[in-house]
Amino acid sequence: MRYGFFRVAACTPRVEVANPSENLKATLELAKRASQRGAGLAVFPELGLSAYSDDDLFFQDALLDAVEEALRELCRASTRIDPILIVGAPLRADGKLFNCAVAVHRGSVLCVVPKVYIPNYREFYEKRYFASAAQARSTTIDVFGSDAPFGTDVIIEDPNVPDFALHVEICEDLWVPITPSSLAALGGATVLANLSASNVTIAKAEFRKLLCASVSGRCIAAYVYSDAGFGESTTDLAWDGHALIYENGELLAESRRFANDASLVLADVDLERLRQDRARMTSFADCATVHGEAVRRFRRVSVSLPQRSDATELERRVAQFPYVPGDPETLDERCAEAYAIQVQGLAKRLQATGIRKAVIGISGGLDSAQAAVVTAKAFDKLGLPRSHVFGLSMPGFATTSQTQQNAHALMHALGFTAGEIDIRPSAMQMLRDIGHPYAHGEKVYDRTFENVQAGERAAHLFRFANLHGALVVGTSDLSELALGYTTYGVGDQMSHYAVNASVPKTLIRHLIAWTAHSA
């Protein structure tokens, strides 16, 4: 939590149809496991205390009384459990039966959230049993002698956990055009929980993932989804126990589907990142303004979560190469798109300026190699001869014979007009002029030493371009720019058009490999 992360858990216990006492045991077992692993939130499936597939047993007071007793016992047991528990239960209120999510923490019911959209199409007939949240008259519900907020307009916050704000919705609420969680996100909710009992059909899992990714991305939020699994009746439906955790469109954790045993998946969501992303995306705030009346109606419930410091490992994958997909097919698609964007951008700039020649410094390294390949393709796209591209090798004090050979081999292979300008004499003259120790035989390789050479490269490239009426193509990549290497003394960043400016260093090598095999 000190670093802006918050650990969440999506839990799928084994259930027994219409057996709340056994379902309570399974729920508590997973809740304790989530607590032991440092979770601050544990989300369980829709109607998990009763099971979803009870059908007409939902009309039996014996079942509903047993659910309430299980919920009472869950509250008692939660005094020894750290995370907020979100469990599903059928509850009676206003003379109706509601499909509810109940938020429990340390012996108290924080709120009760009824399901808004009750499906009654194809294989679903929930309206036979349940009323919609829109039909509720009460805004509070009596739970064991105490009033708890009742409705979809509740956000749970902890003033001691920056950026944590929780909203809960249930299954079908995710599948409608305007989800309750969308308005909650505009109202400040950063963590969205969904208790689901979504049955499985062929290819439905992928669409389910698409929905969760979409909501978390559009809402710039974390989305914790827990689905019913093994134990539900398979009389007319089947269940796969699909648990998912997303953050701003990115999948952080996913359970193994069709497991016979209970499952628990955890992830650390980056609340600080979500706050920063929302601040950057000005249209998010604009949308909140447009829906101001709906956004302002949310009630706040305060909770105090234990401040644990025993978690030492991050529960999320941090990619070594964040801009390089691990899946070969996806990587191929990304490389093709990045390459096409680079070529299109340079071709348009040449066309708009009327310039028909280009100058590019070729170092023998990866960045200039990618820029050179893009330049060659842009000239092909415009029907211009590649000989109108002047490639210049500009050896400095640390240039090796191998990199010089690589530079000339690349220029020859691409059909450029190749040249070489040794910058060492002019660089040495500047070092002497400014009184740098290197000019007097001392081995001082400081930033001035490096910037003098870079500046000489830039000066030669621009003056050469002036002479030939050409455009200087830059070679510096996004990583160098992000690290602050952009100074007016550094040659790589100074250009008329920098084709690599949006390409991270980690992707450059893959782009070159892709180009060699595909372009």
Residues serving a catalytic function are: 46, 115, 171
Helices (H) and strands (E) in the chain, counts: 14, 20
Structure-token pair, residue 187: 């109202």
Distance separating alpha carbons of residues 300 and 155, to the nearest angstrom: 5
Contact present, 116 and 134 (Cβ < 8 Å): yes
Distance separating alpha carbons of residues 443 and 428, to the nearest angstrom: 13
Q: Find, among 154, 197, 151, 190, the residue nearest to 174 by Cα.
A: 197
End-to-end, the C-alpha distance of the chain in Å comes to 46
Q: Give one DSSP letter per residue of 89-158, joined into a string.
A: EEEEETTEEEEEEEEEETTEEEEEEE-S----STT--GGGT-B-GGG---SEEEETTEEEEBSS-EEEE-
Q: Find, among 45, 129, 58, the residue nearest to 88 by Cα.
A: 45
Q: Give the bridge partners for 392, in sequence order.
A: 361, 419
Q: Where does 414-457 show beta strands of DSSP type E?
A: 417-420
In a 13 Å sphere around the CA of 363, the CA atoms on its Cβ side amount to 19
Structure-token pair, residue 300: 């706040």
Three state DSSP letters for 332-381: HHHHHHHHHHHHHHHHHHHHHHCCCCEEEECCCCHHHHHHHHHHHHHHHH
Tell me how far the alpha carbon of residue 366 is from its chain's centroid.
29
Structure-token pair, residue 148: 């708890």
